[in-house]
Amino acid sequence: MSIQKQETTQSWSGLGVGTDRKSFMDAVSAQLPDFEAEQAAEAVFRGLSELLSDGLMRQLREQLPEDLRGLVDACPRHPDGVRGKVDRDDFYLQVANHLNAEPENVRLVLHGVFAALREQVTEQEADKIESQLPRWLQGTWSAARIGIDRPS
């Protein structure tokens, strides 16, 4: 009879329990080695705050580890009626400007942060997010599921 060493893995409950800021940022870094993970996450969260309702942003925040929620809290809030009015070019430019990156790299950044974010939220929450995203961003959100190749 052999004794197997059990590796420690982080649990996931869909409520941020068992995960932390470091594991989230490590997941982003693994996807985006050429970008600073914290800046990439902040840029994407700011962009999402322009597109998603306040209620959904609150739900998203609650599913993140406590030490990561500050990134969502730091997102500027906009008066009712402004949210969702950002078009694709403005959205990509906003994220690119936040990162001092070329706009053509934004889809890669979105994919990397979305992949890490999808690991933090329940499938039900992921479906809610996808339903509120504009059509031009829904494909990137869907493609960020584990196992889907990232854009080059």
133-40-12 Cα angle (round to 5): 70
With respect to residue 1, please indicate whether it lies within any of the assigned structural domains: no
Is the pLDDT at 36 greater than 90? The verdict is: yes
CA–CA separation, 134 and 69 (whole Å) = 24
Report pLDDT for 59: 87
Residue 129 lies in a domain: yes
CA dihedral 141, 124, 85, 117 (to 10 degrees): -50
User: Where residue 41 falls among pLDDT bands split at 50, 70, 90?
Assistant: very high
Looking up residue 105, the CATH number of its domain turns out to be 1.10.490.110
Give the mean pLDDT of 84-112.
Answer: 88
User: For the chain, how many structural domains are there in total?
Assistant: 1
Query: Does residue 72 or residue 15 have the better pLDDT?
Result: 72
CB 49 within 8 A of CB 79: no
When the pLDDT of each residue in the chain is averaged and rounded to a whole number, the result is 79
At residue 146, the pLDDT reads 58
Structural domain boundaries enclosing 25: 21-143
pLDDT at 102 over 80: yes
Residue 151 lies in a domain: no
Q: Is residue 116 part of a domain?
A: yes
Residue 7 lies in a domain: no
List Cβ neighbours of 59 (8 Å cut-off, separation of 6 or more): 125, 128
Q: Which of 8-22, 31-45, 52-66, 129-143 has the lowest mean pLDDT?
A: 8-22
Over pLDDT 90: what percentage of the chain? 30
Q: Are 72 and 61 in contact (CB under 8 A)?
A: yes
Residue 16 covered by a domain: no
Q: How far is CA 9 from the centre of its chain?
A: 21
Q: What is the 3-state secondary structure (H, E, C) of 23-81?
A: HHHHHHHHHCCCCCHHHHHHHHHHHHHHHCCHHHHHHHHHCCCHHHHHHHHCCCCCCCC
User: Does 27 fall in a domain?
Assistant: yes
Per-residue pLDDT band for 9 (boundaries 50, 70, 90) equals very low
Decide if 9 is inside a domain.
no
